[in-house]
Amino acid sequence: MTIRWYPGHMSKAHEQISELIRKIDVIIEVLDARLPVSSSNHLLAQLRRNKPWIKVLNKHDLADPAVTKSWVGDFQKASGVRALPLSAKRLAETKLLVKLCKQLAPNRGKPGLPVRAMVVGIPNVGKSTLINTLAGKSLAKVGDKPAITVRSQQIDLHNGILLFDTPGLLWPEMTDQAGAYRLATSGAIGANALDYTNVGLFAADYLLHRYPEMLQSRYKLAQLPEDPYQLIEAIGRCLGCLVSGGGVDLHRAAEAFLRELRAGKIGRISLEEPGVAAMCAEALAPLNADGPESEFGAGEPGR
């Protein structure tokens, strides 16, 4: 199954961000700490205009801490780029972001001259949660489905920071299908544009190789299955995803497995590491051969 997902409002969002970036002082790109490359929009680098760039590694409490530390060092090799792991729900951690914004724009952050910071990122990485935490109240819509924010808004934090919230932005062509499957695994792709069974099998294959002990512990497996199909079946039996006759409903099992992975119930997992092809493209071959292709273009409404 080839994943394609580009809701119509994202084309307009690209135009808005391109225009807004001329007026701001600092770019805050919110990433998913579990997959910071796949959750980064490569179009942003083209629009950046050498503005200071903070890469917020959100949901770091769900990611492998050693891998996150490696990502911070890797990102900060680039000129003008700082990386900050945090949980958007934790006020104490988000205050570090305010401090960093003021450091990167030292001539602003004063009364009448706030630091103008633009918050960008792909859908469902926690932009709205971050903004609400910083503001101390619910100003941006939050949901467990991607593409909640569909228009930009301006928010004065009254602490020397003026935030510009922008809609979640993906890129029109998902040529890196391994990256697309990582996004689908994390929940950043709309449910209508993916097949849970294929994505679950893809994620299961990765965890079998990278975090086998976590799988054994979570699902009380005396022995690890040899392939992702057997693993999803074993997980399905553990979670009660059964059909009449005692068989496993593979779709329900894969969906339940992905919910557990996204919630951190299996453990702190990173889906990619610096310099490592985390989820091999080869894993897509059997999935693409068996699964139906799903295409959602610019006309598909965002959620």
Whether residue 172 is predicted with pLDDT greater than 90 in this model: the reply is: no
Q: Which residue has the higher pLDDT, 289 or 163?
A: 163
Res. 280: pLDDT tops 60: no
Tens digit of pLDDT for each residue in 231-256?
999 999 999 999 998 899 999 999 99
How do the domains of the chain map onto residue ranges?
A: 3-165, 195-293
* C-alpha span between 244 and 255 (Å, rounded): 19
Q: Is the pLDDT of residue 84 over 80?
A: yes
Indicate the pLDDT class of residue 14, thresholds 50, 70 and 90. low
For residue range 178-206, list pLDDT tens digits in order.
888 998 999 888 777 778 999 999 999 99
User: Which is nearest to 253 in space by CA: 281, 230, 287?
Assistant: 230
**The domain 3-165 belongs to what CATH superfamily?**
P-loop containing nucleotide triphosphate hydrolases (3.40.50.300)
Which residues contact residue 156 at a Cβ distance below 8 angstroms, ignoring those fewer than 6 apart? 114, 162, 163
For domain 195-293, give the CATH number: 1.10.1580.10
Strands 153-156 and 161-165: antiparallel
Position 123 scores a pLDDT of: 77
Residues pairing with 54 in the sheet: 28, 82
- The whole-number pLDDT of residue 275 equals 85
Higher pLDDT, 150 or 51: 51
pTM of the model: 0.82
Phi, psi of 222 (to 5 degrees): -65, -35
Range with lowest mean pLDDT among 105-109, 238-242, 282-286, 289-293 = 289-293
Q: Do domains 3-165 and 195-293 have the same CATH topology?
A: no
Instruction: For residue 163, give the H/E element and its range.
Output: strand 161-165
The 10s digit of each residue's pLDDT in 111-169 is 889 999 999 988 788 988 999 999 987 765 554 444 444 456 889 999 999 999 877 66
| Mean pLDDT of the chain, nearest integer | 83
Higher pLDDT pick, 277 / 211: 211
Lowest mean pLDDT among 1-5, 40-44, 125-129, 186-190: 1-5
- Sorted by sequence, the CB contacts under 8 Å of residue 250 that are 6+ apart come out as 197, 229, 232, 233, 236
pLDDT of res. 12 = 63
